[in-house]
Structure 1
């Protein structure tokens, strides 16, 4: 309830409704309400009736005051905005002016930009072309320094590894021109190839002159590497290559001859402490051996140097060149070497020494043949071998004649071979001991044996022909035995030994015949044997004179006595046989003759037709027992 101006109490229905309405408001409006009330509290101090009646006017006044303040503030803002507008308008005008000017400038510079783009394109194109040309020049042309290295502007420009690098590059460029031709640039490729060919020829000409000058110094280790590379390059030009090889061979031939003379006279061999070879000229074997040993070493060294010189060359193309060049190099040694060896084989040296010299020459020819085959030196070795062989054979024949003497020696009473036989067999042993290591030992052995044994056998036969039959047979057998024993030690003597054995068998037959005849005579068996041979009539043997039982008993008694000491009836010369086999063989064969006659007599006496009374009493033993007893002795 509130008091109304008229004094009436007016119900506060509207206020409660408002309060209720306020309370019904949501929380979203609470903040605004609280803020409004807080603002209201700033000027609404007292809650009087008058203040309540004037609240609306105060609020309106305050709202008006606030709006005026806002208006004033907006006036300032407006003034600022107006100024800003003026500035923006001014800026717009400037921008428009600049835009107009830019458009004008753009229209004016479009052509310039297009021209600049074209120029930039041309520049890039030229740069690319420059790089291509530079790469082409680097690939297909030599630099100034390379041309100087290749041509050698002065003598101070040496041949070194750089030169071979340049010459290889020239060859590579020449090869690449084929690819250039395939790409369609035939004219350019041909021009470059012609240029490279000229440069290559000039470089090889210079290399040829340098190599020809320096190939003499193959022992210089510093030059060897360059020389081997130079020969590899010059191999592409066969004529220049051959000229260099010829120059090298000429130089080495002179050096080799000089070294040979030095080693002969000064002793400057491959070993520093060697003595001059001429100091041993009195010893042919050592002299020739030292010369040929030095030659072998020198040729081996020359071959090694030559192979080093051509070490980078095509091996298949230089195989024949090696043999030809070594033949050329060693040709200068032929005359001094041949003259010295000819002098050695011509001196009065023993045949054993001459044969040793021949063996040395053969050995070194065979050793060097693979290196100097078909060369002048090889042919010289052949001539020396032929000469030394002739000299050896001549000397051997002379020594054989000297050993045999002008007149044949007569054997002593013991019938042993004369001293000349032993001397010649000793010489044969000495020579054949050397021949056993020879390459051609069969030919040498047969020739040497023929030179000594044939005259020896002839001399033995001449000597034996002066002796009685038995002495001759014994002497010949002794000589044959000694010769046979010597030859049996060596190869290739089968035919010679067979002939000696046949001659010995003939002499054994002679001795057997003589020995058997002697035994038959001493045993009085001759008459009985003749009767047995001639008993062709019908008369019984017992009735023939000399074949009666008493004669036969007399024979068997002598035979028994002979069996006690059979050596008594042997010829004294049989004991002089040097070979026990010969003695046994002669005795056995002679006893076999006696045994055969005894057997024939024994069988004849036991035949009934011969009418012997009690034939067993005539014989003390059978033929088999007789032979057993004879052979037992």
Structure 2
């Protein structure tokens, strides 16, 4: 389908253009207008006379192109009608819009009238306000001044109330703090805390220009604090009189009171002194009851078994007394731990602040420094003071037991028992306590008694030291001494020794209870002839070594005894060797100092003949005879070793003699003479066989 031609001026026929009233295209003859006066001709002429360069004409053509209408007869006829219709519709819309504008204009007129009325009312009100303000301005100024003054008064009132609440104590608080009729309860401690706070805050007031108020308040509050501490001090003293330490839940108010009272070290120390004196009397009476079954007032306690009646043995008697003291000390320490260990840091802070506040410290010697409060040390010192009275009674009784004892073993057992408790008390109370010093002195007294009894026994045995037994065995006093020493060693072994080197510690006991008896044996051996002296000493030292070797901490001394036994055994070997040399008749020949390579003038047939005959007579029973000489040596194995050593040495000497004989015998053979072997046929091999 062929496209429909567009509508344009070029496509329109000239007659249509004229009939439509459109301008004619350029170049149209003007004469057409003049020649055709009819309306159509006029219109055509007008169209033809229109310039295409006219803006409005071009815009009209553009509008036609935008409509995209077809270029046909119907469209060309209808286009004018359509255009008029559109114009009419547009004018109708414009008219409607102008109607709305007219309505808005009427509304704006009404608004304008309303605004005029408002402006008039505003001006009227403004006039009235200005007039009223002018009239009320003095009154408002005066009212503002009064309100400002009221605010200042209220602020001052609040400051005064706050000041009184913080710096002024009420009558009830003063009564709770200073009145002895009031108890030392929470109200007292709260009042004391407030008073101390006031006293501390008053230092700030002293920094202002007017210091009168601060100094007056501080003076008044300081008096209240002093009275409060005095009241607390007396209250604590009263409580200490009825305080039950056996109660595991000790009164918390006592702990709190002591913690607060620590801020006054002098009062705190006085309370401790008072408490220590009271507890000392109580424990002394309790110890007296435990000993006798009767109180100090003479009233009998049927629930107690008196130590004086139940402990007949001195060791048990002393042990029961020490056990009671130990039990009381432990109980006292456990009961007082809640006062010092649980509150230790608070007490330390209180004592430090109190010491720093005391005036005398400001003028004290600079070298006199106070040490920090040690809760454990204070606890130990207080416990030590509590048992001081019982310790004195203990010392008197134990000293009496020690002095009345006349037996060595019980004396040492007493010393060991006391040593056990000394170590225990040292761990419990520390070094320097009175109880530890008391028990330590008792231990020294027991050891002195033990040494004195040992010396007395040695003095009593001086007569027995002069005569040795006929069998050369250890004397009876040595057996008794070793039995006693064994009992002492067992007692020491079972004891709780504080020394790490128990062997060195026990040396003192050996020096007292062992060395004198061994020295007595040595003195007895000096009056004996060899080999009896060495045999006697070996027997004594063997017995002593066997006794000491059974214990770890005496093995060093046993080793020394074994060394001395070896030394005496060497002497016996030399003595047995002399016996072999003299009994065999070869002594002069074996002891010759002539060298083997030199000439031996003493080796002749006559001398060797006599020696050979004596040797033959000696050898069959030589070993038995030698063993017989050591029959009193209690260690048969050692006797055999000594004899064999001497025989072996004799054989070595015989070999040297044999070499000298062989040398001289060879020289005689070279000279065709009869050798020495003819009169001395024995060889070293035969000697070894006969003496083995």
Report the TM-score when normalising by structure 2: 0.64
Residues 103 and 229 (structure 1), Cα distance of their counterparts in 2 relative to 1, 3 Å cut: same
CA distance in 1, matches of 2:592, 2:140: 163
- 1:395 maps onto 2:435 in alignment: no
Q: Is the 8 A contact 1:303 1:326 kept in 2?
A: yes
Q: Is the 8 A contact 2:248 2:335 kept in 1?
A: no
Within a 5 Å distance, the mapping from 1:538-549 to structure 2 comes to 543-547=604-608
Which of 176, 180, 198 aligns to 2:201? It is: 176
1:163 is matched with: 188
Within a 5 Å distance, the mapping from 1:568-579 to structure 2 comes to 568-579=624-635
- Alpha-carbon offset, residue 523 of structure 1: 3.4
2:662 is matched with: 606
Which of 586, 596, 618 aligns to 1:525? It is: 586
1:448 is matched with: 509
2:395 is matched with: 338
Within a 5 Å distance, the mapping from 1:52-451 to structure 2 comes to 119-152=146-179, 155=181, 157-181=182-206, 186-216=211-241, 217=243, 219=245, 224-266=251-293, 275-310=305-340, 311=343, 312-314=346-348, 316-318=372-374, 321-322=378-379, 324-369=381-426, 371=429, 373-400=431-458, 404=461, 406-407=463-464, 414-436=471-493, 437=495, 438-439=497-498, 441-442=502-503, 445-451=506-512
2:538 is matched with: 477
2:52 is matched with: none
**1:185-214 deviations in whole A, cap 9, x for unaligned?**
644333332332222122112112212222
Q: Is the 8 A contact 1:280 1:286 kept in 2?
A: no
2:116 is matched with: none
Within a 5 Å distance, the mapping from 1:478-517 to structure 2 comes to 478-489=539-550, 491=553, 494=556, 498=560, 501-502=563-564, 505-506=567-568, 508-509=570-571, 511-517=572-578
Q: Is the 8 A contact 1:591 1:627 kept in 2?
A: no
- Alpha-carbon offset, residue 168 of structure 1: 1.0
Which blocks of at least 5 consecutive residues in structure 2 are unaligned?
A: 1-91, 93-123, 296-301, 350-371
Q: Is the 8 A contact 2:276 2:385 kept in 1?
A: yes
**1:154-175 deviations in whole A, cap 9, x for unaligned?**
62x2111221112112222222
CA distance in 1, matches of 2:409, 2:384: 32
CA distance in 1, matches of 2:568, 2:608: 34
**1:443-468 deviations in whole A, cap 9, x for unaligned?**
65333323333442354356556766
Q: Is the 8 A contact 2:576 2:626 kept in 1?
A: yes
Q: Is the 8 A contact 1:306 1:322 kept in 2?
A: yes
Q: Is the 8 A contact 1:553 1:618 kept in 2?
A: yes
1:99 is matched with: none
SS in structure 2 opposite 1:575? coil
2:113 is matched with: none
Q: Is the 8 A contact 1:267 1:275 kept in 2?
A: no
CA distance in 1, matches of 2:202, 2:294: 60
CA distance in 2, matches of 1:630, 1:162: 112
Q: Is the 8 A contact 1:323 1:373 kept in 2?
A: no
**1:406-442 deviations in whole A, cap 9, x for unaligned?**
5459666644334332221111111122234434655
Within a 5 Å distance, the mapping from 1:46-57 to structure 2 comes to none
Residues 573 and 196 (structure 1), Cα distance of their counterparts in 2 relative to 1, 3 Å cut: same
- Alpha-carbon offset, residue 295 of structure 1: 1.7
Residues 473 and 123 (structure 1), Cα distance of their counterparts in 2 relative to 1, 3 Å cut: closer
Which blocks of at least 5 consecutive residues in structure 1 are unaligned?
A: 1-26, 28-95, 97-101
SS in structure 2 opposite 1:577? coil
- Alpha-carbon offset, residue 602 of structure 1: 0.8
Q: Is the 8 A contact 2:668 2:675 kept in 1?
A: no
SS in structure 2 opposite 1:317? coil
Residues 129 and 104 (structure 1), Cα distance of their counterparts in 2 relative to 1, 3 Å cut: same
Residues 273 and 606 (structure 1), Cα distance of their counterparts in 2 relative to 1, 3 Å cut: farther
